[in-house]
């Protein structure tokens, strides 16, 4: 029998109402939202009733998506389904660390709140844009980036999708260059140029905060966005590094497959990671779980 991985979604997939279905029926999920509200009052209300304008502000997005992700994972585990490995996309990595036992829920939530504050501040002070590039290889995207100042490949998502961070002034011209190269470009509705040097101040601030954070050895291996391998060594350094460096998602999935993962369950918000997995491998079963009925559809 193959192995199971839980993957935790990241910023960008949020929507009003996320997590409510699990909150209503799962004691384990409700406990996550109650914990979030005890530290940051109003988190559940934002998840369940917040406007998209409210939810797309980084300072709100990160704690809300974290809560919805971790609640979904706990609801799945409550049904007796446990993963062999976990990983999270960007923000989702903090939820993965909590689920794995590397951080307590409370410590992880406080970390996410601080991370959101710092990244939101960096986005305001160092404005940038993000562009998803489709139908071009990562190598082609890297070559295009070299033609523009302050333009970086930051999310290596699949063989045919790479996300780029750039300046707001360069974004339109970069999209034109992508089209001329035979690709397709789409500007993303995000508030900053994440996982790039635009986030250097946020990474520095997070490094200072992480001096107070105590990590434990995870009971489930957690794959790092920065190394694409399981966490080892200085965990705080890895958490800090992923804020200003690329997310190597495709390599994470390739490395999981190499150790026997044949089933991937995206827990939390949306189905972006499920779709990226399907575009990378056609022999891994990929599912999304963001409501109780999704658990019944799992083919394990």
Pairing of strands 285-289, 184-187: unpaired
Q: Hey, which residues does 286 pair with through a beta bridge?
A: 264
Report the distance separating Cα 296 and Cα 285, nearest Å.
Answer: 15
133: its two tokens: 């590039």
- Catalytic residue ranges: 90, 195
In the structure encoding, which two tokens stand for residue 52, read together?
Answer: 């998209």
Instruction: Write out the E strands in the chain.
Output: 3-8, 85-88, 129-134, 152-158, 161-166, 184-187, 222-223, 261-267, 285-289
Maximum C-alpha span of the chain: 53
Contacts with 80 (C-beta within 8 Å, 6 or more apart), sequence order: none
- Beta carbons of 203 and 123 less than 8 angstroms apart: no
């Amino acid at each position: 029998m193959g192995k199971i991985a839980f993957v935790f979604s990241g910023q960008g997939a949020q929507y009003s109402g996320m997590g409510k279905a699990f909150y209503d029926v799962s004691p384990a999920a409700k406990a996550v939202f109650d914990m979030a509200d005890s530290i940051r009052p109003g988190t559940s209300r934002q998840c369940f009733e917040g406007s998209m304008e409210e939810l797309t502000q980084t300072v709100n997005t990160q704690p809300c998506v974290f809560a919805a992700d971790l609640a979904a994972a706990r609801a799945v585990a409550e049904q007796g389904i446990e993963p062999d490995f976990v990983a999270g996309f960007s923000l989702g990595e903090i939820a993965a660390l909590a689920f794995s036992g590397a951080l307590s829920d409370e410590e992880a939530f406080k970390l996410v709140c601080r991370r959101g504050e710092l990244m939101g501040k960096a986005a305001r002070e160092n404005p940038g844009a993000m562009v998803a590039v489709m139908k071009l290889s990562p190598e082609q995207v890297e070559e295009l980036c070299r033609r523009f100042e302050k333009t970086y490949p930051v999310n290596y998502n699949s063989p045919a999708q790479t996300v780029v961070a750039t300046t707001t002034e360069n974004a339109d011209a970069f999209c034109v260059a992508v089209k001329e190269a035979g690709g397709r470009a789409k500007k993303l509705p995000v508030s900053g140029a994440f996982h790039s040097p635009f986030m250097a101040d946020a990474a520095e601030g997070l490094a200072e905060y992480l001096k107070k954070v105590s990590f434990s050895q995870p009971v489930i291996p957690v794959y790092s966005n920065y190394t694409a391998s399981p966490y080892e060594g200085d965990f705080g350094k890895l958490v800090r590094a992923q804020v200003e460096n690329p997310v190597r998602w495709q390599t994470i999935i390739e490395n999981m497959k190499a150790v026997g993962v044949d089933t991937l369950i995206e827990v939390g918000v949306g189905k972006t990671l499920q779709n990226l997995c399907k575009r990378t491998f056609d022999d891994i079963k990929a599912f999304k779980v963001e409501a109780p009925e999704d658990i019944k559809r799992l083919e394990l």
